[in-house]
Amino acid sequence: MPAAISIKGISKNYGALQALDDVSLTIEQGEFFGLLGPNGAGKTTLISILAGLVVADRGHAAIMGADVQSAFREARRMLGVVPQELVFDPFFTVRETLRFQSGYFGIRNNDAWVEEIMAHLDLTSKADSNMRSLSGGMKRRVLVAQALVHRPPVIILDEPTAGVDVELRQSLWQFISRLNQDGHTIVLTTHYLEEAEALCQRIAMLKQGNIVALDTTENLLSLHGSAKKDGEGKTDLEDVFINIMSGNAS
């Protein structure tokens, strides 16, 4: 069984800036994986390389065994990405946007699935609204829907809950958790660490293009947390993150 995501020795420079420095990481099928790190750590760069949008200077990456360069189309079909930036065509409606996305992947008769995704993301009432008329959070829901239209086995969400209200966050996490239970591999990037703590089984932390921590959420909490003053020795992922990023990790 190929790994969901295999990253081997990936480096990427932007001029003098090293965005990724020899990153290697394997994410197995079925994992709910967290990719964390401060602003500028290289998370989106790594995701863009996996999606074939950015070419690495060195190294290899594959999605479900398909190389993101030499087997681009196959790799891309295996992957659904919810991008950090809001990009869309303002003149199409929500339903049209999702149907076109199906067409991009050459999928016909996908209407039932498109309607189901819209229902899960509470978009049905906006199905015939133009994209430009949607609020920021609604647009983000469409980005999530767009990533799912081709039923990819591997789903990467780059800060999907930024600017999103509590209700959508909860319905989104229910929906994503169900997809994970159904066997989809989920990779989540978020700055809401309590979200990562609740959802992710395993976590990688990036700092200045390097992986500085990689372990199960449970181990990270027990090995790197500092006891809270007010609690009963319980730690949370935010303490762990701060400890690791400041170099105080034990």
Q: How far is the CB of 208 from ligand ATP (least distance, A)?
A: 8
Residue, CB closest to Mg ion: 44
Q: Which stretch binds ligand ATP (CB under 6 A): 11-19, 24-32, 94-102, 225-233?
A: 11-19
d(CA 71, CA 65): 9
Residue type, 12: K
Residue from 7, 43, 62, 148 touching ligand ATP (CB under 6 A): that is 43
- Reported residue count of the chain is 250
d(CA 10, CA 33): 19
52 Cβ neighbours under 8 A, 6+ residues apart? 68, 69, 72, 75, 76
d(CA 161, CA 134): 16
Q: Which stretch binds Mg ion (CB under 5 A): 42-50, 67-75, 119-127, 214-222?
A: 42-50
Q: Which stretch binds Mg ion (CB under 5 A): 7-15, 81-89, 120-128, 133-141?
A: 81-89
Alpha carbons within 13 A on the beta-carbon side of 5: 29
Is residue 45 within the footprint of Mg ion (CB under 5 A)?
A: no
**In contact, 139 and 88? CB cutoff 8 Å:** yes
**In contact, 19 and 13? CB cutoff 8 Å:** yes
Looking at beta carbons only, is 43 or 95 nearer to Mg ion? 43
Structure tokens at 83: 């991008």
Is residue 102 within the footprint of Mg ion (CB under 5 A)?
A: no
Q: Which stretch binds ligand ATP (CB under 6 A): 33-41, 105-113, 120-128, 239-247?
A: 33-41
d(CA 34, CA 24): 15
Q: How far is the CB of 238 from ligand ATP (least distance, A)?
A: 15
Neighbour count for residue 42 (Cβ, 10 Å): 24
Is residue 48 within the footprint of Mg ion (CB under 5 A)?
A: no
Residue from 37, 52, 83, 225 touching ligand ATP (CB under 6 A): that is 37
Is residue 160 within the footprint of ligand ATP (CB under 6 A)?
A: no
Q: How far is the CB of 41 from Mg ion (least distance, A)?
A: 8
Q: How far is the CB of 100 from ligand ATP (least distance, A)?
A: 26
Looking at beta carbons only, is 158 or 197 nearer to ligand ATP? 158
Is residue 39 within the footprint of ligand ATP (CB under 6 A)?
A: yes
The number of angstroms, rounded, from the C-alpha of 236 to the middle of its chain's C-alpha atoms is 21
Q: Which residues bind ligand ATP (CB under 6 A)?
A: 14, 17, 19, 37, 39-45, 84
